[in-house]
Structure 1
């Protein structure tokens, strides 16, 4: 079990502000920024993940991180899945060691980076809560950025409702 670094939304908001990010209009743009900040690529691919099953999976490979998102997810739901998996990356959550694992996801065949090191798709509730809180803080920042540009609303409830 990983001890939580972010125990409430306030600590998550403080962390997000400390990153001094450029405005971003989507979770994909945020991943690009975090790739630059971490000097380690984060690739987002959409794939037909099994249903029932996880809507998103983080795969840490030798030279990059891959966030796999259920291809059927759309709009704010898809963005939130990406933000949630990004939060797992930034929190340094651990997963199952699968050194030879290569998922049958066509988009990964073209993504560079070598063999998979860890597949993260199952976490204890502390890690899940932490990832949800951090994802929510990133979503709030996304909405604030859009609102400043006159393109959105800073109501996080609308974000999660998909409005």
Structure 2
């Protein structure tokens, strides 16, 4: 039996699955009426308003934890912690991924009741403990859904084009102007 058709069928099946997952994510955002935002941080505020519970973002040094981001849900609000020692683009992706878990309702509280939680963790709110326990139990399918939702969320962020930070020589100015006209940018000024 030839393995090539089997691999091709698997790629096609996976492609159909990802397309369906993307449509589901778009439907979730459509129901929330989440509009385009200037950045991921503004989008998180919008998601919080639409859900009637604030989403608080905090840059934290997570380098020693093995994770880049973390969602902690309390009774009244959501906290998204993201790695402070990485690029802004990576931070936006981390925030998008954690927001995706929120939007896809991936938070599971485990089987502990409030009384059991109070006995084990007397100084913590049961909802916080439940949230942290649930965060450790994501399924691979939930992680995949969160990544797809994160990519959909990132399409809602209006990125400003990078500005030219270098002088263009007279020889290169016309070529750069043609390239930038194709991508909708103003050409940098030719240096004297």
Q: TM-score, normalised by structure 2?
A: 0.59
**Between 116-125 and 23-32, the greater mean CA deviation after superposition:** 116-125
Match status 1:59 vs 2:106: no
In structure 1, the gaps of 5 or more residues are 1-5, 104-112, 154-163
| 1:105-144 superposed matches below 5 A | 116=128, 117-119=130-132, 120-142=135-157
Higher strand share: 1
In structure 2, the gaps of 5 or more residues are 1-18, 163-192
Q: Deviations over 1:91-146 (max 9, x none)?
A: 1113465854989xxxxxxxxx996241124411000000000000011121xx34
Match of 2:43 in 1: 30
Sort the Cα spacing of 1:38 and 1:102 in 2 relative to 1 into closer, same or farther, 3 A. Answer: farther
Q: Tell me the number of residue pairs that the alignment of Structure 1 and Structure 2 aligns.
A: 134
Superposition RMSD in Å: 3.0
Match of 1:85 in 2: 98
* Maintained 8 Å contact 1:60/1:118: yes
Match of 2:29 in 1: 16
Sort the Cα spacing of 1:15 and 1:50 in 2 relative to 1 into closer, same or farther, 3 A. Answer: same
Q: TM-score, normalised by structure 1?
A: 0.68
Higher helix share: 2
Deviation at 1:80, TM superposition (A): 0.6
Match of 1:68 in 2: 81
* Maintained 8 Å contact 1:54/1:121: no
Sort the Cα spacing of 1:115 and 1:122 in 2 relative to 1 into closer, same or farther, 3 A. Answer: closer
Deviation at 1:70, TM superposition (A): 1.3
- For 2:26, what is the secondary structure of its paired residue? helix
